[in-house]
Amino acid sequence: MISSSQDIRAVIIGTGGYLPEEALDNDAVAARYQLDTSDAWIVERTGIRRRHIAAAGQMASDMAAEAARAALAQAGVDVSEVDAIIVATATPDSAFPSTAARVQAKLGVTQGFAFDISAACTGFVYALSVADAMLRARQARCALVIGAEVFSRIVDWTDRGTCVLFGDGAGAVVVRATEGGERGVLSTHLHADGNHADILLVDEVAGVVRMTGREVFRHAVSKLASVVDEALAANGLQKSDVKWLVPHQANRRIIEAMGKKLGLPAEQVVMTVDRHANTSAASIPLALAEATRDGRIQQGDLVLMEAIGGGLTWGAALARF
């Protein structure tokens, strides 16, 4: 039982990821969809070499549940302890019920609450922020925060400028309310500006992603730099205090630019975009899962997460693992 007299921290105690079985490299995508592109062209501009594609009938909730099971297993947490499930997704199973409710049923969780968050590629940071606030407010004690996307169903496979950028997958973290200590989410910082909604959106008529790439890149560099400074200043920290940068995996150039801004060597920047492309809200938790499971991120490390997505939305989170 959590004492009301103690400060509560939301501590990430487990991570998990799931990628669909089918993986297509750049040449396979170009051949399958008869695109006028090449592996060299895609790699040079994005750093992407392959992406995973969900099987027919495989939904966001299916992948989310698999990632959640992996995170729960790593944390050593039983489903009976989970009292909140928050799923960040731009590709839900349906308008309603929520994908989170579907995940709740698939996991066999019979208590607590579940809901979705829609903030495109920034969705995981938004969801982690909400979970952090709820745990601190004692509305929950153990939460699953999940990002899950099936972007292969909303890209225009005739548009080489966008279709090669995205992939499917899910990532999850288990967050537990813990009394005191130094570990946990230090702060989260969220922003949105709907005036730029039209540079990255799902076309209402065609139902596919449309993007003005140069504009998105321009906003990404400036807004991510600003929110990173905001997060560090809010905690009285210096760039040198950051052990790991775990960014949204959209584009190698943006990731490398943010690493240089922080003065971090490449080996302290977690990059997975080459292996599964942009998985939107799933990209940060997928990267966290890889870097915790291979031993890079250790207990006590200060981790900075940041993302920008359609909305425009952007944000950052600082957490000590």
Segment 191-234, tens digit of pLDDT: 999 999 999 999 989 999 999 999 999 999 999 999 999 999 99
Domain finish residue from 128, 157, 179: 179
Local structure of 309: helix, strand or coil: strand
Spatial CA neighbour of 42 closest among 239, 252, 190: 252
Local structure of 188: helix, strand or coil: strand
Q: Is the pLDDT of residue 6 over 70?
A: no
Q: Are 120 and 281 in contact (CB under 8 A)?
A: yes
Q: Are 30 and 38 in contact (CB under 8 A)?
A: yes
The C-alpha torsion from 129 through 125 and 320 to 227, rounded to 10°, is: -100
Token reading at 96: 């309603």
Total count of residues recorded for the chain:
321
Q: Is the pLDDT of residue 2 over 70?
A: no
Pairing of strands 168-179, 142-150: antiparallel
Q: Looking at residue 17, which CATH number applies to its domain? A: 3.40.47.10
The C-alpha torsion from 275 through 277 and 282 to 287, rounded to 10°, is: 40
Domain tally for the chain? Answer: 2
Q: Are 147 and 170 in contact (CB under 8 A)?
A: yes
Spatial CA neighbour of 71 closest among 275, 242, 282: 282
Residue 1 lies in a domain: no
Whether 17 and 77 map to the same domain: the answer is yes
Whether 190 and 165 map to the same domain: the answer is no
Residues above pLDDT 90, as percent of the chain? 97
The C-alpha torsion from 221 through 226 and 229 to 233, rounded to 10°, is: -170
Token reading at 93: 């199973």
Mean pLDDT score of the chain: 96
Whether 29 and 160 map to the same domain: the answer is yes
Whether 224 and 256 map to the same domain: the answer is yes
Residue 3 lies in a domain: no
Domain finish residue from 179, 209, 229: 179
Q: Are 195 and 28 in contact (CB under 8 A)?
A: no
Read off the pLDDT of residues 68-116 as tens digits, 9 standing for 90 and up. 999 999 999 999 999 999 999 999 999 999 999 999 999 999 999 999 9
State how far the Cα of 101 lies from the Cα of 196, in Å rounded to an integer: 31
Q: Are 19 and 276 in contact (CB under 8 A)?
A: yes
pLDDT score of 3: 42
The C-alpha torsion from 12 through 94 and 160 to 38, rounded to 10°, is: 50
Whether 104 and 215 map to the same domain: the answer is no
Query: Hey, how many other C-beta atoms are within 10 angstroms of the C-beta on 320?
Result: 19
317, containing H or E segment: strand 313-320
Residue 61 lies in a domain: yes
Residue-number span of the structural domain to which 284 is assigned: 184-320
Catalytically active residues are 121, 248, 278
pLDDT score of 7: 87
Residue 64 lies in a domain: yes
Which residues, at least 6 apart from 59, have a Cβ–Cβ distance to it below 8 Å?
93, 99, 102, 150
